[in-house]
Structure 1
């Protein structure tokens, strides 16, 4: 099976993570937001992109995880610094 992003009409990723979901990777808006807890500083990159290879790996993992199937998303990371919901 081919997992090439270049053969898709459009493929973008929006991932929010962190204790309060304050960090974000957003390929549609070409934005990355990172909050550094140690210094309580938030930095935003407004020209963020992922390579076609990186997007292809993400796309492949989404397809292989049966993304169209109903999922219950209620698990958290065990790290006290980061959590995912």
Structure 2
């Protein structure tokens, strides 16, 4: 028998909790790939005004912007209401 020398695919990293500030960092890196906010907006189909306002710190990232960089919004129940 011969052993396969094909590389095994790497597992994706486990999910982790991120802050809005980290989402903005991810957005800045994603915008840098195509080279401009306008090119990024066209590529992923998000609102240019939302992107601009988020990158300037005027509003938190929208659900669409979070999704554009692979971040999902989840509701977490941490205990009973007091």
Structure with more contact order per residue of length (Cα contacts < 8 Å, sep ≥ 6): 1
TM-score, structure 1 normalization: 0.23
Larger radius of gyration: 2
More strand by share: 1
More helix by share: 2
